[in-house]
Amino acid sequence: MYRLTASLLIVCLLVLSGCTGRKSASSKAYIKEHTAAQSDPKENNAYTPPSTVDKTQYTNYTRDLQMKLQAFAIDYKKVQIYLDQKLILVKNIDSTKAEVASGVIRFINSSVVDEITINAYTPGVIDAIDPEGIWIKFESGNRLRFVPQAGPDAEDVFVIAGNNWDEGTCEVSYANKTYRASCYKCPSIASIHPVVKLAEIDGKKKNPKTLPGIKIN
């Protein structure tokens, strides 16, 4: 009797095991929901300029420098320009659409954001100059506007043109969208300035010419 009961139990277990296997094979596969860890974009984009970058070789792009370049008839679009600090643009987006411009999707405090990073000394070009400022682009099709620094103690430097300033950040227009701009390590976005390399500017200013002289026939 004991052997019969044990045999029946083993048979039942085998049958149940076979049924379970067939059910798993025919069941639909589901993707497990992934919960991204909340992260700070400033930490995710931690950046240290290459050791080859010697900041002493750069100078601020100022109104005075701009006028000198114009006096030498130098095409401003051929002047390589950089930012001396890391710039971060962040915009909250609809998680169901997840539309991004030129950045990446981040999760910050359970919110989905489109984040664009322009690292310090990323090469850019001046796309246009208007009576009030300059337009700089670091990628095709999109650009940022910079204007002369304002205020009684203002220096002859350009700062990013923004609205709704708050604790050192401001709103800027980029890729036909509104982003909040901040500086990675400096307290205010106004601390970010366009700069140029001195060697490149000096080279463009020079127009060497060797006079052949005049011979009397």
The pLDDT value recorded for residue 192 is 96
Contact by Cβ (8 Å): 195, 60: yes
The pLDDT value recorded for residue 59 is 93
The pLDDT value recorded for residue 27 is 29
The pLDDT value recorded for residue 143 is 95
The pLDDT value recorded for residue 170 is 96
The pLDDT value recorded for residue 115 is 86
The CA-based dihedral angle spanning residues 114, 118, 124, 130, taken in that order and rounded to the nearest 10 degrees: 70
The pLDDT value recorded for residue 97 is 56
Identify the three-state secondary structure at position 176. Answer: coil
Alpha carbons 48 and 19: distance in angstroms, whole number: 58
Question: Angle CA(121)–CA(166)–CA(119) in degrees, nearest 5?
Answer: 15
Q: What pLDDT tens digit does each residue of the chain (217 aa) get? A: 544 444 544 444 444 444 444 433 332 222 222 222 333 434 434 444 555 678 888 999 999 999 988 888 889 898 999 999 999 999 877 655 555 555 555 555 556 778 899 999 999 999 999 988 999 999 998 999 999 988 777 788 999 999 999 999 999 999 888 999 999 989 999 999 999 998 877 766 555 555 666 667 7
